[in-house]
Structure 1
Amino acid sequence: MALRVLFLNDTQLDPASPRLEASFDDTQVALHPSTIFYLIKHLGVCPIFLSNITITPWLLDTGNALFKTYKQDTSNQGSKSLSSVQGFFCYSVRGRPAHAWYKHDLELGKSTYIIQYCPEGTKTNLMRWATAPNKATRRLALRPMLLETMIIDEVAWNWSKGVVENARKLLAYEHLAPEQYGDGLLSSAVHDLHNLSQHFYIMQEELNGIAEQLEYLGKVHSLISSTLHTKWVVIRGGESSTSVVDSLLFLQSRTRNWHRWVQNWRERTNVRINLFFNLATTKIATETRRDSSSMITIAALTLLFLPGTFISGLFSMPFFQTAPQRLEAGSKRMANGLRLVDLSRCSRFHSQLLSSLSGSCG
């Protein structure tokens, strides 16, 4: 058997509502210890990969691994030749962390895969090619690194749908006319745009990961292609008329282009956030200035129509300074814009006035 693929149990999702019923920590793979022992002993699965899919928290994304096995070259004493290549990489399917392990036996021409959360499109195409009546079509599935390339292609395409959806939301805000900037829009636009900016940040990092995985797969493909043995060519159906490396190069270019546009949309989202924030600040300042003008108008009307109240309030304020101070006779001081009269003169004038009134009455 030239190709073996083991699909781990997947969590089925409704296409209309692609959300898990439980958290990612509760949906990790559960393998019996005897199964783990069999995979390690008989298939040569790397224990690190099994640890990543069973006990490692999903927040700690697994990197890309490559392990090579050499054997002594009988035709050339003292030299070694590459006998097998195995490794694993991580990806995400609609937000769910997923992993894939592979091993390519270059001597026997066999490839073995263990895939967690294989994308449905990749699984469908693989089954269609493997069961095709035409032998030439079946050989398409035996091309080196084909399955890995199909997985990353579908993962990137799934993320592109979210990119387009969020870009359309941003364009809707950018195409608004100035007269549409109402109170209801200003109150909700900043929050919505912050969510868009967050989504663009996540998509940008996902595309960074996809670009890194494509570069990694390209190096693995070059390593395998440069050391293909005669038995590999015979078992895998001879030289193919097409090469997977061409698809990898195309996917790299496409991912870089998407990443560039996601970064552009993220920056434009931040520009739009600043615009709406400034509009809201200007509106608040205008309302505050309008309230201040209203208060001044009310004060002016009070002065015009209620002079008695104004004067009474004015003269009820304390104008005289009653603190003891050293004052010269006949001196006059100013306080609060009014003339202060010497308190001693006021007392003497009051006494003389009382004497005059007493004499008149007599």
Structure 2
Amino acid sequence: MLRCLRKHAGLFNTFIGATCGIGHWYSAKHMCYSDDYKEQQYKKDFEIFYEYIPQEKKHSCTQLSITKSSATYFFLDLPGSVLTRFLGDVAEDAKLTTRFFYIDTLIADEAMRTWQKDIALKRTELKALDKTVDHSEVNNQSIHELHALAREWHILARNLSDYSALLKFFKSCTSRYYAATVTCANLSERDIMTLNGTLEYLDSSCQSLTYLISDYSGRTKTRIDLLYHLANQAESQSTRELAELARQDSAAMLTIAAVTLLFLPGTFIAAILSTPIFNFADGEMQVYRKWWIFPVTVAPFTILVFVVWFAWLGHKRRQWDKK
């Protein structure tokens, strides 16, 4: 079908590539072609192709081929609202069917309306998220919603940038068309002024929406930074409370250690004197003649305990260094 349209109706290869291509992750494309080499203006052909993005993840393509006696349009994913507006306008004024670039300005205006609605909806979402001011309301859901909103602002800004380039392309095409058809009787001064005024209005609206998106994008970023700041404050408060609890636990441990140090010398001496090495029978202290066995046995075991302890500390330190 597409090959037939290309052969008999003049469908662009670019249009076919946009229809059957690998996707639209790249920027929109525009092209304008005219037979400027022909001397007679009534024999000149004028052809335009452009893409635009009325909605996220959706490109629309339009091809306009103008000859001496006809104008042929090819559309891919033309929004239904554009066709509805065009049929309504034509019902009131049938001359609009032959006005140069009228459908194209309708397409541009409808895309502008779509983005205005998107901006209004996202502005409402931003105002709702602006009410999140209490620490208890700072949660992952709010942060995720703000990140999603920031992404949507970025996409809208990119689409408007492409749209601004499309409007410049429209102005360039109209200038070339005027130059190619300067002697055509059906091109009135009123139509030229109306088209130029429409394009200027669309360009001004595009700039206004660009400024709005820049403002709302900055507000969204500020809101994200504020939520992170509040979350860090809450985390800092929790850390301070944990530090206070640790200090209290440390004070309790110091108290226990002080009490232990107070009683440890007496307990140690009492334990030594209660061994069979010392005998207090008959009111006199008698020392067992093989008392040296006790220190000789205790000293190596004490050294062994310290060696094992230091080895365990070194093993833990090496594990921590690896991490």
Under TM normalisation by the shorter chain, which class is it?
Answer: 0.7 to 0.9
2:143–2:224 Cα contact (<8 Å) kept: yes
Find the counterpart in structure 2 of residue 142 from structure 1. Answer: 98
d(CA) in 2 for partners of 1:301 and 1:212? Answer: 72
Q: 2:145 aligns with which of 192, 216, 233?
A: 192
Cα RMSD, aligned residues only = 3.4
Find the counterpart in structure 1 of residue 164 from structure 2. Answer: 211
> Structure 1 residues 312 and 173, CA, compared in 2 at 3 Å: closer, same or farther?
farther
Alignment of 1:48 with 2:14, yes or no, is yes
Q: Which runs of 5+ in 2 are unaligned?
A: 268-276, 278-284, 289-323
Find the counterpart in structure 1 of residue 210 from structure 2. Answer: 259
- TM-score under structure 1 length normalisation: 0.66
- TM-score under structure 2 length normalisation: 0.74
Find the counterpart in structure 1 of residue 178 from structure 2. Answer: 225
d(CA) in 2 for partners of 1:312 and 1:220? Answer: 100
d(CA) in 2 for partners of 1:213 and 1:185? Answer: 42
Q: 1:172 aligns with which of 123, 128, 137?
A: 128
The number of equivalent residue pairs is 274
* Structure 1, 44-53 or 296-305: larger mean CA deviation: 296-305
Alignment of 1:84 with 2:45, yes or no, is yes
- Secondary structure of the residue that 1:269 maps to in structure 2? helix
d(CA) in 1 for partners of 2:235 and 2:159? Answer: 39
Q: Which runs of 5+ in 1 are unaligned?
A: 1-34, 75-79, 317-349, 351-355
Q: 1:271 aligns with which of 222, 225, 232?
A: 222
% identical aligned pairs: 17
Alignment of 1:298 with 2:249, yes or no, is yes
Alignment of 1:1-362 (within 5 A): 35-70=1-36, 72-73=38-39, 83-95=44-56, 96-105=58-67, 107-108=68-69, 110-130=70-90, 132=91, 137-176=93-132, 180-228=133-181, 233=186, 240=191, 243-304=194-255, 308-309=259-260, 357=286
d(CA) in 1 for partners of 2:121 and 2:248? Answer: 51
Which structure dedicates a bigger proportion of its chain to helix? 2
Find the counterpart in structure 1 of residue 281 from structure 2. Answer: none
d(CA) in 1 for partners of 2:235 and 2:7? Answer: 71
d(CA) in 2 for partners of 1:158 and 1:193? Answer: 22
